[in-house]
């Protein structure tokens, strides 16, 4: 049989790999990474995805996981044990907040949510057992942009790790490790894969020691990603740069339209000059602001419902970052688990709609949104 050189990596859809004899088994343990044994530990497809994402983020290595949530879990458990303390930005994806405050507290990890106004003055929040600060490059859902370099100085001063969820920005827009972060996490489900057909996560580490701990957590807790999902995500990743340009360009056009519409009360998008972190977003984002935006119409659920029902081409889908545009309702989905007080404090009110802008023709998107707003 001739030697085959496939341009695309085949799918290694196997749960286990075979060995010739005991010598080969010993070699597996003595020379890690030279061969494979069990897909929960590693697989050529998950390794390829990890290597490609790590190359984009510029880390010491990456570990892929079964979802964005399991990536956050692997990162936190890689750095913390029972009795440790974690800081988390209050304005963050509701699932991240729920994982920390409702689940990890049950196994002895203490959590403090830091209000946005205090994020650059961590001193009052840091305790002797504080291990890390977790936040997002651009917050979900109101697109607060955080100064990663400034926060890295703070965390280094307090000798704690800075863990950044870079899902909204992607490494095409911002590379947190180059700005001083210690770990980066992504829901690969979103932009990295990009086609709404994969559920996956990844953790990228700046230091080998952290990488080995996160790998261990992934293996022992069984947080691994399947070969097929890995293959699909690696396939999607190949067009990330092209997609992010289109997402960003379209989102800016839609945000500018919404800003000028009489029925829209507020628009949150870092690419608008009125955004409070516009200059930071421009500098940290290489001139792109991503495909996510939020806007508020009147604070009335029925008005939101009428708007959603009137949309002809944009579906209501409680996720984000696919090539097709979709809308979501933070109060009823991503931030449902927060208390009414937290929701109010974060300005997530009944009229707030999150828009994940895809790569369609922007004129078509604007026309659909325009006609739907007549129902408000």
Catalytic residues: 40, 93, 165, 190
What's the rounded Cα separation, in Å, for the pair 80 and 109? 8
Question: What number of helices (H) and strands (E) belong to the chain?
Answer: 13, 11
Can you read off the two tokens belonging to residue 375?
Answer: 């129902």
Torsion of CA 232, 237, 243, 244, to 10 degrees: 130
Please provide residue 302's backbone torsions phi and psi, each rounded to the nearest 5 degrees. Answer: -65, -35
Check residue 115 and report its DSSP letter.
P
CB 71 within 8 A of CB 186: yes
Check residue 9 and report its DSSP letter.
P
Can you read off the two tokens belonging to residue 7?
Answer: 């341009």
What's the rounded Cα separation, in Å, for the pair 72 and 88? 12
CA distances from 211 to 54, 59, 233, 241 (A): 11, 10, 21, 26
Spatial neighbors of 319 by CB under 8 A, at least 6 apart, are 189, 190, 196, 326, 328, 356
Residue found under tokens 């628009």:
267
CB 288 within 8 A of CB 173: yes
């Amino acid at each position: 049989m001739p030697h085959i050189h496939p341009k695309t990596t085949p799918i290694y859809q196997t749960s286990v790999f075979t060995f010739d004899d005991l010598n080969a088994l010993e070699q597996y343990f003595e020379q890690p990474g030279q061969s494979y044994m069990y897909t929960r530990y590693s697989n050529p497809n998950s390794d390829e995805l990890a290597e490609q994402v790590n190359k984009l983020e510029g880390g010491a290595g990456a570990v892929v996981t079964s979802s964005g949530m399991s990536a956050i879990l692997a990162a936190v458990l890689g750095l913390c044990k029972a009795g440790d303390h974690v800081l988390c930005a209050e304005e963050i994806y509701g699932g991240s907040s729920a994982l920390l405050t409702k689940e990890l507290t049950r196994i002895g990890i203490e959590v403090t949510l830091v209000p946005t106004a205090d994020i650059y003055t961590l001193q009052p929040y840091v305790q002797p057992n504080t291990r890390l600060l977790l936040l997002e490059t651009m917050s979900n859902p109101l697109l607060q942009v955080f100064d990663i370099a400034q926060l890295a100085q703070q965390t280094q001063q307090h000798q704690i790790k800075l863990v950044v969820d870079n899902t909204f920005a992607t490494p095409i827009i911002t590379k947190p490790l180059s700005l001083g972060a210690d770990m980066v996490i992504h829901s690969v489900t979103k932009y990295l894969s990009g086609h709404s057909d994969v559920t996956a996560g990844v953790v990228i580490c700046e230091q080998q020691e952290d990488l080995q701990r996160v790998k261990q957590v992934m293996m022992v807790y069984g947080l691994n990603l399947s070969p097929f999902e890995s293959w699909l995500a690696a396939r999607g990743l190949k067009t990330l740069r092209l997609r992010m340009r289109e997402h960003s360009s379209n989102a800016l056009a839609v945000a500018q339209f919404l800003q000028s519409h009489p029925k829209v009360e507020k628009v949150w998008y870092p690419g608008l000059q009125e955004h409070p972190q516009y200059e930071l977003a421009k500098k940290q984002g290489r001139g792109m602001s991503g495909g996510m935006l939020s806007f508020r119409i009147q604070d009335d659920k029925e008005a939101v419902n009428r708007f959603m029902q009137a949309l002809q081409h944009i579906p209501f889908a409680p996720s984000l970052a696919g090539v097709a545009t979709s809308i979501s309702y933070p109060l009823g989905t991503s931030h449902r688990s927060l208390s009414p007080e937290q929701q109010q404090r974060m300005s997530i009110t009944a009229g707030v709609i999150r828009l994940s802008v895809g790569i369609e023709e922007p004129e078509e998107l604007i026309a659909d949104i325009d006609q739907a707003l007549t129902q408000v």
